[in-house]
A and B are shown apart, each in its own frame.
Chain A
Amino acid sequence: MSAVFEQIFQVGFLAAIIRIATPLAFATLGEMFSERAGVLNLGIEGIMLLSAMTGFTAASLSGSLWLGVLAAVLTGMLMGALHALFTVVLGLSQHVCGIGVTLFSSGLAYFLYRLIFGQQSVPPNIKGFQTLPIPILSDIPVLGPAVFNQFALVYMAILAIPVAAFVLYRTPWGLSVRMVGENPRAADSAGVSVIATRFQAVILGGALMGLAGAFLSMAQFNAFTFGVVSGRGWVAIALVVFGRWDPWRSAGAALLFAFVDALQLRMQASGLGHIPYEAFLMLPFIFTIVAMAVMSRNAVAPSALLKPFRREER
């Protein structure tokens, strides 16, 4: 048993957790901004997939990974704008629109990918992001190689957490976002444009979801496959609830999920008994459902979540 234990908790384990947590952190922060403004974005799964595709394609055609990241972010913003158009401007059902955006984006991602790359027996890949050790910091024992010898996008995700917290809690725009998510009527009376603020928050959220997609296809897998996202978007929605709509807690939730995921990967590799590997693949999803069951009773969602705002309806 101790041999298995050692194999699981070796030095690379911490690094793996950070890597797995990165796309989840981006996605979770993105969904959090959207929901704090009162808009549930179930389009996240499809937005991540389409961004992963456009990012990969742009990087592969241009040879520049950062151009790929830019393409992924712009894709995320565009799809965020689409979701905002339907849910914020037209006030349509956030649940069904989100599913619609996911179906549409996924379909478009598959269609365009097949159109551009054709049907190849071996999926094309790119030379993805390489690790970028930070001088001095990466020499710290244990923590150094795990946290400070990572992809540039990982550092961006780590920085994104305090930035998101600062924007949400310390800036006038963040205050507007929280107001339109809690009490749009009051925000409107105070001269805050509910529609514009929600629109901006959903687009910002889309940009972060785009970064999540970019990480998957350009740092983690270095290829676009149809299973590149495989439920991570849905998990992010659960993590927002688990993180109680707070940037720090949400990022913590992403880290916790990544821990479970890294653990199941290690357990798979160590060939623990005769348990089928699918049982381990299930584990993070079951963990998320159970975590939601534990947390949801006391979770307080933004009051105006799911409620469209129309000025004339008083």
Chain B
Amino acid sequence: MFRLEVRSSTPTWFNFALPLLAIGATLILCSGLIALAGAGVLEAYGVMFTASLGDSYAITETMVRATPMIFTGLAVAVAFRAKFWNIGAEGQLLAGAVASCFVGAIPMPGPLAMVLMAVAGAAAGAAVALVPATLRVKFKVDDVVSSLLLNSVIYYALMALIEGPWKDSFSGYPISPPIEDSANFPVLLEGTRLHLGVVAALIAAPLIWFLIVRTTLGFRIRVTGENPEAARYGGIHVERVLISTALLSGALAGLAGVSEVGGVHFQVMSDISPGYGYSGIVVAMLARLNPLGVVPAAIFLAAVMTGAEAMSRATGVPAFLSDVIQGTALLAMLVALLFTAYRIRRVGVAR
């Protein structure tokens, strides 16, 4: 007989084993869809791997792709730590993109422009995140629903801007005018698209880790998430912590937009984010809400996305496979997390 037993602590290697287990299970489950599309499973996954991580150029492209998801992953990880259910990283990213593009289009010295773009983008993202947080603290509105609904509002606002007053008069397409050339983030490696934002994301992850694990605010965020009653009893102003968490989370999501504008697109268009905000949720969960884990998790999803496009071209399997993989990975990770709460024990049968 086997029995589920409550586990009090988990070994460290679980942090690595569980995501790998979830990813393995996901790839096995999704191979059914590849077979359904009439392609060879190993061939398809092979193409995905080669195209995303096979050579140094592919790796830089994957890193560029991973960057916005590192930011949104951090945003979600911070929010979920406090059990502030921020599903609005998508809208916060868009707001950050718009604000930074607006600033980047003003002529000024390059470095100053980049700093101001980051500040404006982070502020815009934080401002958007403040809405669901305030609604929750003041009006008891469910943060999941309000942050989700807000994504649609922000999206339409962005569309209204780029189809209306902000429309690029030069091209006539519904895209914003480009930022100044001097505000384009410098490319760090000749011949690639590896830009300053990638490095910023890689620096942000350990900084946020430090903030969560080592600072008073981080402690308050964690306690608020784990046990709000205890937090309140311990003298923590839970509402204030939720607001601070929202500001931090929104700012990080906003930076995802900044990095896409400054380093990749140099302007704003309607499809500037193919759902990076929602992918951030998958990233954060795969990372077990650990900011350091966000980086490899984001790289994995980025590899799936870049790989899926190449796989689609080579084998005809629809590239939407990457969306299925994301959803499956999230669910598989949740199931895998059961191993942190329970262990399977062999129970002796009574003779």
Contact = CB atoms under 8 A, between A and B. Distances in A.
A104 B328 contact: yes
Give the bracket for the number of chain A residues in contact with chain B: 35 or more
A108 interface: yes
Interface stretch (B40-48, B62-70, B319-327): B319-327
A234 B143 CA distance: 12
A77 interface: no
A99 B318 contact: no
A99 B281 contact: yes
Interface stretch (A183-191, A245-253, A283-291): A283-291
A97 interface: yes
B85 interface: yes
A100 B331 contact: yes
B214 interface: no
Interface stretch (B144-152, B204-212, B230-238, B254-262): B144-152
Given A107-B327, A114-B320, A115-B318, A296 B85 contact: no
A282 to B, nearest CB: 4
Interface residues of B, number: 45
Nearest to B317: A115
B139 A296 contact: yes
A95 B83 CA distance: 10
SS class, residues of chain A in contact with chain B? helix
B254 to A, nearest CB: 20
A230 B148 CA distance: 11
B87 interface: yes
B37 interface: yes
Interface of A: 42, 46, 86, 90, 92-93, 95-97, 99-108, 110-111, 114-115, 230-231, 234-235, 237-238, 241, 276, 278-279, 281-282, 285-286, 288-289, 292-294, 296-297, 299
Interface of B: 33, 36-37, 85, 87, 131, 135, 139-142, 144-146, 148-150, 152-153, 156-157, 159-160, 163-164, 278, 281-282, 285, 318, 320-328, 330-331, 334-335, 337-338
In the A-B complex, the 6 residue pairs with the closest CB atoms: A104-B327, A107-B323, A103-B327, A278-B160, A107-B324, A114-B318
